Amino acid sequence: MADRTSSKESASAGKQKPERKVPRRITKERLRNIALYHLQRFATSSENLRRVLYRRTLKAARHHETDMDQARAWIDDVVGALIRSAAIDDSRYADGKTLTLLRRGQSLRKIRAYLASKGVDGETINAALERATEEVGDPDLEAARAYAMRRRLGPFRTKGLSSEAKQKELAALGRAGFRYEIARKIVEAETEDDLM
């Protein structure tokens, strides 16, 4: 019995968590490099990039003495330089993200909430949604169609429609942020052509 215990203890001793790497000290140049690397990997708004840089600064500040006021000034300088060089453009970001989310079946309400959570201002969001309306026609209907296709609702369902199933489909579309009129149109459509 003692042999089993000692073998378990030695096995658990070998599975120690690796020590976390201490982040490097934050400098203006380091923040600029972090921002450029982030932009290579992700599309982002200026405010969201500011948040990313601030989180990285806080992480480094736990291990190094950091003047947070100086770091905020550096962050503002780095983000401002990227805006001036057009590496970051909130309007372009909002337009692209709006069209991408519409194709994925996100409602205009969810898109508005998503962009706001990324720090895009209301005026830029409204302009992006207007441009999407001009390009797509009825963006909420197109998004609802994409959502219904992905979830097999409305004309894309594989089973018949009982009244209980109809209510569930309406509820699913409502939770996804679509207006009742659009949800009803999707659920009552017999074929995809009925949605045109």
More confident residue, 117 or 152: 117
pLDDT digits (tens, 9 = 90+) for 79-94: 999 999 999 999 999 9
159-166 contacts at long range (C-beta below 8 A, 24 or more positions apart): 161/187
Residue range 142-152: average pLDDT? Answer: 86
Most confident residue range from 18-27, 59-68, 163-172? 163-172
89: Cβ–Cβ under 8 A, 6 or more apart, which residues? 83
Residue 180 Ramachandran class (φ > 0 left, ψ -120 to 50 alpha, else beta): alpha
pLDDT class for 46, splitting at 50, 70, 90?
very high
The structure tokens listed for 35 are: 């921002």
HEC letters along the chain: CHHHHHHHHHHHHCCCCCCCCCCCCCCHHHHHHHHHHHHHHCCCCHHHHHHHHHHHHHHHHCCCCCCHHHHHHHHHHHHHHHHHCCCCCHHHHHHHHHHHHHHCCCCHHHHHHHHHHCCCCHHHHHHHHHHHHHHHCCHHHHHHHHHHHHHCCHHHCCCCCCHHHHHHHHHHHHHCCCCHHHHHHHHHCCCHHHHC
Residue range 131-139: average pLDDT? Answer: 84
Please count the other Cβ atoms lying within 10 Å of the Cβ belonging to residue 54.
Answer: 15
Interatomic CA distance for residues 68 and 54, integer angstroms: 9
Does the pLDDT at position 8 exceed 60?
Answer: no
pLDDT class for 187, splitting at 50, 70, 90?
confident
